[in-house]
Amino acid sequence: MRSHGLRPDLTAVPLDGGEPSQVVLATRAGEHNRLVVAFTVCAARLLVRRQAGLSG
């Protein structure tokens, strides 16, 4: 399933029917790996959209 706004090489898979849970993403301070940085940015945008009640 492709979510709007994600990079074409990332995929979001909704977990329907499960209880809400907390997820933690931990990285090194000053992370320079572009893939880790890109994942962090995408995850943060998706989280903000979900909290605002917008679809993926």
pLDDT > 60? residue 2: no
Q: What is the pTM of this model?
A: 0.49
| Digit-coded pLDDT (tens) for 13-23 | 777 887 877 77
CB 46 within 8 A of CB 37: no
In the chain, % helix, strand, coil (3-state, to 5) comes to: 30, 0, 70
Q: Quick check: is 12 in a domain?
A: no
Report the domain count for the chain: 1
Structural domain range at position 52: 32-56
Which phi and psi angles does 36 have, rounded to 5°?
-65, -45
20: DSSP letter: P
Q: Quick check: is 15 in a domain?
A: no
